[in-house]
Amino acid sequence: MKFNYLKQLSTYQKNSLVAMITIIILIKMSPLVNFVTHYYTIFFHELGHTIAAWMLGSMAIPTFNTVSGGGATYQIGRPFILALINFIFVISILLAIKNRSKKTNSKKLMMFFVIYCLIFFSSLREIIITSMGIGGELIFSFIFTWYALFKLQTKYDGKGIFYLFLALILLINSVFFATSLIFNEVAIQRYINHDGITNDLVKLTQSTGLSISFYSWMVLFIAFFGFLKILKINKIQPPSKQKIKKIIKNHFQFSLRKGQEFIEKFKNSKH
């Protein structure tokens, strides 16, 4: 594998990356500022759990826990109607993608649908929801990095630098966390015995039998290769807010139309 992605970056992008990484590492030496960035990371961590839970049919609410120094996402329940709506929503997304893009590979969409069903109707659902804590941190860091690097292609852009700062806080905090659980025995014991709270990687270990070290290495692997992938696509423009709104609007209209067609067919079949 050729690690030549840095050569594709402009001087503005390289300088911004070096400056932000340096600043964030220095910030982590300041207990007060590090405390703030810690809770910033927790916000996206719990948001990752919450989004995954809702997409898999569960009602979930993220919260902060200042006593334990972390957060928690409470799953209230999984009402049948909510699970059904979410399931239909995901199916309609796949149909919309297939309907609008001639380049879309039907086999890949079918594979995604099969995997989604496998997760939705099995105990894998809880494993995915649990994994999407630190997974959420990484995904949001990749999205922010992509947006920031695109803005920084040809000039120093204030908004781009700000988003790069936010992105790298998430990424570096995730990397530091995973590294500590591999090489720091004290951190591992503190994580396992956390005031009666069962943390995410401990839950995953109990569910799958795989070690905390395995999951920590997986986090580092995803962080490293995910970041390299973002560096590779930095010249591709992320979708704008207007485009995202248009996609959501079109998808809603498409889903509504398909729903009406289904209802009509169902009524006609009764006659």
Mean pLDDT to the nearest integer, 181-199: 84
Q: Please give the average per-residue pLDDT across 258-265, as a whole number.
A: 66
Per-residue pLDDT reduced to its tens digit, 69-93? 677 788 887 777 777 777 777 777 7
pLDDT in tens, 108-160: 778 888 888 888 888 899 999 999 999 999 999 999 999 999 889 889 999 99
2/242: higher pLDDT: 242
Say how many residues make up the chain. 271
Q: In terms of C-beta distances under 8 Å and separation of at least 24 residues, what long-range contacts does 69-73 make, across chains too?
A: 69/38, 70/42, 70/194, 70/197, 70/199, 71/42, 71/43, 71/45, 71/46, 72/46, 72/197, 73/46, 73/49, 73/133
* pLDDT for residue 18: 92
Q: Is the pTM of this model over 0.95?
A: no
pLDDT tens readout for residues 49-65: 999 998 888 888 888 77
* Alpha-carbon gap, residue 205 to 216, rounded angstroms: 11
Say if residue 1's pLDDT is above 50.
Answer: no
pLDDT at residue 180, rounded to an integer:
93
SS3 content of the chain, % helix, strand, coil (to 5): 75, 5, 20
Name the residue among 232, 182, 197, 256 with its Cα closest to residue 4: 232
Q: What's the confidence (pLDDT) of residue 4?
A: 61
pLDDT more than 90, % of the chain:
38
Least confident span in 9-18, 103-112, 178-187 = 103-112
Q: Is the pLDDT of residue 172 over 90?
A: yes
